[in-house]
Amino acid sequence: DRGRREAEAFRPAEAAARYAAALEALGRIRFYQDLAGTELFSPEDHAATGRAVRRALAMSRVEAARSLADEDGSIAAYLAVEDDPVSLGEFESFLKERGLLAEPPTAAAPFKDLRTLAFRTALDFRMNRYRDIVRTGDLLESSSLVIAPAGRADYARVLGLVGESCLKLDSVYQAERFLLRALEVEPGDLDRLLALERCYARVNEEDKAAAVRREIDLLVSPAAIDLGGLTVEKGSAASVPFVSDGRPRTVRLELAPATAGGRPLVSIFLNGRVIWENIGDTGSVSLPIRPRQGKNVLEVAPVSETLLLTALTFVE
């Protein structure tokens, strides 16, 4: 509410600081409801509040900078979580009113700014405008563009989104062409490799799919992570970041009390949500998880006494 008042008073930098603090507070909330069997606070409401705060933060950053530079990633973070077409439409109108979002490129009006094009394409993708994006791809193919090194990431982003849009429209071979071009410009992108793997699965190209899977396996975290007997003090938490392709897995952790005969109460979180809480003196704990595609964080937090965490293994 304080952020909103700052925004209404035309103090966008102060509003952004308020919204960033609200987002940090939301990130500290931990959900125990699955364990307790009682829903005290809806996770859906929490997610909706997070989206609203991210949108307000993105708008404040834009208002302060009067550009789409997105130095702190606030705009990209908002687009990554927003799934409401009405909210996205309002955000699009906000940008157009400030002259920051040009009309889509046409044959008569060629590409001028790759950064703006990449942003517009990402926004269109979130709004399910797949045919518009494919038309952009057709224009790209017919244009003679010289891409400076500084623009390669934006160019690859556009090509990748064109490929994924083709896949949404079941134009599998066209999708393959654009995704391969995107990976040529910017190799090793997990999202584009996963999309390319789906392409080959659609047309039963098993050898090509297997080759892409080998590349994916090099990017995701290894099946076993050696934590080297990590000591986690009571009241603190050990954070284990990992990269996933989004498939459901089972995670196995090797836990032990730091003192002989100890029975530490342990909470385990995946991306801020409690997935297990119990006495951590059994040695091995196996938990089914549904990680998101890309970066994830597993946290192990001893509540009552110090804990030893020796290994973490992912099992299919």
Per-residue pLDDT at 105: 63
Per-residue pLDDT at 227: 82
Per-residue pLDDT at 111: 62
Q: CA geometry: angle at 243 spanning 239 and 287, to 5°?
A: 65
Whether 20 contacts 3, CB under 8 Å:
no
| Tokens standing for residue 208 | 């090509």
Domains 102-219 and 224-315 share a fold: no
Residue 314's φ and ψ, nearest 5 degrees, are: -100, 135
Whether 230 contacts 308, CB under 8 Å:
yes
The predicted-structure confidence for 10-28, as pLDDT tens digits, reads as follows 788 889 888 889 888 887 7
CB neighbour list of residue 78: distance below 8 Å, 6 or more residues apart: 51, 54, 55, 57, 58, 91
Per-residue pLDDT at 123: 93
pLDDT along the chain (316 residues), means of 10: 77 88 81 55 79 91 87 89 91 90 62 82 94 92 82 93 96 96 96 97 95 96 86 90 94 89 88 85 86 94 88 87
What residues are paired with 312 via a beta bridge? 225, 253
Whether 162 contacts 130, CB under 8 Å:
no
Per-residue pLDDT at 32: 57
| Tokens standing for residue 276 | 């297990």
Write the Ramachandran bin of 283: left for phi over 0, alpha for psi from -120 to 50, otherwise beta: left
Per-residue pLDDT at 168: 96
The predicted-structure confidence for 179-220, as pLDDT tens digits, reads as follows 999 999 999 999 999 999 999 999 999 999 999 999 999 999
**Fold (CATH) for 102-219:** 1.25.40
Distance from C-alpha of 193 to C-alpha of 87, rounded to nearest angstrom: 30
Residue for token pair 């390319």: 196
One-letter amino acid at 55 equals R
Which among 164, 309, 285 is positioned nearest to 230, based on CA atoms? Answer: 309
Residue ranges covered by each domain of the chain: 1-100, 102-219, 224-315
pTM: 0.83
Sheet holding 265-270, edge to edge: 238-244, 294-302, 265-270, 273-279
Residue for token pair 């990590």: 230
Distance from C-alpha of 238 to C-alpha of 311, rounded to nearest angstrom: 12
Residue 84's φ and ψ, nearest 5 degrees, are: -95, 115
Distance from C-alpha of 217 to C-alpha of 209, rounded to nearest angstrom: 12
Q: Where are the beta strands (DSSP E) in the chain?
A: 224-232, 238-244, 249-257, 265-270, 273-279, 284-289, 294-302, 307-315
Residue 238's φ and ψ, nearest 5 degrees, are: -100, 120
- Output DSSP code: residue 168: H
Q: CATH top-level class for 224-315?
A: mainly beta
CB neighbour list of residue 8: distance below 8 Å, 6 or more residues apart: none
